[in-house]
Structure 1
Amino acid sequence: MFKEISEVFILIPALVGLKGNLEMTLASRLSTAANTGQLDNPKQQMLIASTNLAGVQVQATVMSSLAALVAVGLGAWSKGSVDLQHAAVLSASGVTTAFVSALSLGLVMVGVIIGSRKLGINPDNVATPIAASLGDIITLSLLAEIGSFFYRFKDMWYVLLLICAVFFLLIPLWLVIACRSSSIRELLRSGWYPVIIAMLISSTGGLILDHTVTDPRFKGMAMFTPIINGVGGNLVGIQTSRISTYLHCISVPGVLPISTKALCSHPVITFCSSGVNSKSARVLLLLVIPGHLLFLYTVYLLQGGHAAINATFICYYLCAALLQVLILLYVADVLVRLIWRHGLDPDSFAIPCLTALGDLLGTSFLALTFRAT
């Protein structure tokens, strides 16, 4: 399937980014609920978990189908034609993958956050990275297996479209469950914009990957793309979740605390002040170089990726990764304040845009790195 349907490389960043966004926003919302004591009551715990999981299923079904349509559209724009069989395979694979991974990852997130709360660990520090990394590997694995299975039946494209229709028929059930919570009702009413924007940004990164994956000059880029994008997404997800929890604990949406009155802070304030969020930004930034060196060494041991991981490539790569995270952490500081000032919940609105921006920056900087070396 990966060889015959090149549009899948456009779908991958959008679908993986979508799943990461949905699970990370779920993890961030549940972490905030845990840190504010809302998950301490068993009945409240069940209500919050079930409504959040149902809301994620609605978003996953709708957005995965839209991601497949965008991938087909961008592929048609590049090739000048649409293959109906390939479009059916992409649509069925995307929707099925999103459904299965949303359910499995959602349950894992609920368990991780409740367990962290009981063990006295701050869920903000562990939940979003687990959501992002598990989301990547599970989504990619499911897409490969499900897509390969559906590809065998590409001639029966109408059956594949029928499978998509079945998942859409389940949406009313998820809506009934999700609407038991007023916050999830509001999320399903107005929370589509950041996810759609994030998907479009990720699709742009996918278009870059689609054009470079077959070019000999960029051999191995597909190996490094999930690494640089995953690290950036994980780190900015932690920072965003921490800032959001901090604001939830000391203020109410629409009112910025005195310590963060300025909507657009200077980068020096973001990284060099004495505030708790600035300290966490510095710690996260310090993780970039050693983390990527470990991953580069792992790729080298597995003899994958770039044909020659040399000193020049490593220097360019580390500069690209550091610049990516620097930009993301600063944008997170500004964007979370802006969203909070407008009375919205950063847990649901900030993370999708930031992780998608991380995907676009990571893919673009990585392409420049390969081009330069």
Structure 2
Amino acid sequence: MMHELPPAVYEKENSVQNDKTSAIIPVHKNTTRNPEQWYTVGSQVFLPFMIAGFGMVAAGLVLEHVKELALFKQITEIYVLVPALLGLKGNLEMTLASRLSTQANIGNMDKRDELKSMIIGNIVLIQLQATVVGFLAAIISMVTGWVPQGQFNLRHALVLCSSSVSTASVASLALAIVMIIVIVVSHRCKINPDNIATPLAASLGDLTTLSILAGIGGLFFQIIDNYTWLPIAITTFFLTLIPVWIIFAKRNKYVSDVLIHGWSPVISAMFISSTGGLILDFALQKFLGLAVFQPVMNGVGGNLAAVQTSRLSTALHQQGKPGDYCDNDDYSSATSCSNPYTVFCSKKSDSSTARVLLLMSIPGHLIFILLIWQFTADHIQLSYSFVTLYLVAALVQIGILLYIAQWMVAFVWRQGQDPDNICIPYLTAIGDLLGTGLLTCVFLVLSY
């Protein structure tokens, strides 16, 4: 005959059973959430997206102008450097935005001491990565430009190295400070930083980077004959700061892991962007008017893919730690390699966001094309054929990037790595390569 246990005994045994179970089943921070509606995502993303687009239009106009300067005409290798530096801005600032947005959404920004440590650590890390990758980008531009010619110009090498390192460091510092302010303010205003931070990271990024490169590079190019020591001294100064940045970053708990595992995505992305630079070098010499569209085509795709990546990563961080599997229905699409139909046409919240981002690009690109035409009507003529082919190329680029983002976030998460630190550099670099290649194809088709 079975005897019913007293309530106290039952509760004790039940708690023991729960303790045993909790040792096996991981407990997540937040196993439920109310997904944002598509119109909420659209309303929060659209304004930063348009602001970023205006910045890219301005960057395209600047690129169209600076390519007539003596620096860009005599040192043509700088065209290989331009996508690498613009991509570096995207890699570092968008990764920073995604990383800090995740910290904000999981509550780590609510304490002042933690926020201060987080800000200092990320600024130091950004400076370290910008200096190293800026120097490597200059080396690659020299190798790809001069090896086929069989000659080496020391003056041009000094100008490229000093300009690249200086531009990367100064632009990254300025943009990092802006991004930190945007994320902290949006978090305190109860706006999801994932929806606005990554587009705003590019709003002034391309324009700032191109302007600094043209200004600093032009100055070094003018004084290289009389003050050869100055580019050498500046390059040496930035390189000697690398050990200092490493020491500070290693002691900061928020970036110490990125210091070890965050290099391969950034450096690999630089190589991919440099490949796009080779295409750009060819296209700018062959097609009039292509330069002004290049930052817009590349930037829009990278920005929208970064928004989706940041949202997917934050959703997974809210469920557990990298490597944990989430079987929550809202996030099942973010933890598996879905087919294209599931990514864009399912009823999942992430699929809804992908559709919103893809469709948002159409009116955005049309407005950007109209702005470009208004500012360059004297030497760029638009046609229905161009606009149609341009939109098709843009949609193909964005669709590929959104699908890769869905697959890559899931893959990186299952490998126990943080998607915030790995995915965006690859996506922005692939976006640069795809954008430059597809835009060149548009001009090739129209030329025939």
Report if TM-score (shorter chain) is over 0.5: yes
Deviation, structure 1 residue 172: 2.5
Instruction: Indicate the residue corresponding to 2:102 in structure 1.
Output: 32
Deviation, structure 1 residue 158: 4.2
The letter of the residue matching 1:106 is A
Residue by residue over 1:184-231, the C-alpha shift from the partner in whole angstroms, topping out at 9 and shown as x without a partner, is 11211121111111001100000001112111xx11111100010010
Counting only pairs closer than 5 Å after superposition, residues 33-112 of structure 1 correspond to structure 2 as 33-112=103-182
Deviation, structure 1 residue 304: 5.4
Instruction: Indicate the residue corresponding to 2:66 in structure 1.
Output: none
Instruction: Indicate the residue corresponding to 1:123 in structure 2.
Output: 193
Q: Tell me which of 222, 225, 239 is aligned to 2:291.
A: 222
> With structure 2 as the length reference, what TM-score do the two structures score?
0.81
Residue by residue over 1:301-336, the C-alpha shift from the partner in whole angstroms, topping out at 9 and shown as x without a partner, is 112597321001111100000000000000000001
Question: Does residue 19 in structure 1 map to residue 89 in structure 2?
Answer: yes
Counting only pairs closer than 5 Å after superposition, residues 1-373 of structure 1 correspond to structure 2 as 1-155=71-225, 156-215=227-286, 218-258=287-327, 259-260=332-333, 263-303=336-376, 307-373=380-446
The 8 Å contact of residues 10 and 203 in structure 1, kept in 2 or not, is answered as: yes
Deviation, structure 1 residue 300: 1.0
Deviation, structure 1 residue 182: 3.0
More displaced stretch, 103-112 vs 351-360 = 103-112
- Segments of 5+ residues of structure 2 without an aligned counterpart are 1-70
Inter-partner Cα distance in structure 1 for 2:171 and 2:145: 25
Which protein shows a greater Rg?
2
| Alpha-carbon spacing, 1:82–1:92, altered in 2? closer, same or farther (3 Å) | same
Deviation, structure 1 residue 257: 1.4
Instruction: Indicate the residue corresponding to 2:36 in structure 1.
Output: none
> With structure 1 as the length reference, what TM-score do the two structures score?
0.97
Inter-partner Cα distance in structure 2 for 1:5 and 1:133: 28
Inter-partner Cα distance in structure 2 for 1:356 and 1:203: 9
Inter-partner Cα distance in structure 2 for 1:262 and 1:163: 46
Aligned identity (percent) is 49
Root-mean-square deviation over aligned CA pairs: 1.4
Deviation, structure 1 residue 159: 3.0
The letter of the residue matching 1:315 is T
Residue by residue over 1:98-125, the C-alpha shift from the partner in whole angstroms, topping out at 9 and shown as x without a partner, is 1111111111111100000111111011
SS at match of 1:265: coil
Q: How many residues align?
A: 371
Inter-partner Cα distance in structure 1 for 2:183 and 2:407: 27
More displaced stretch, 76-85 vs 291-300 = 76-85
The 8 Å contact of residues 343 and 351 in structure 2, kept in 1 or not, is answered as: yes
Inter-partner Cα distance in structure 2 for 1:213 and 1:161: 30
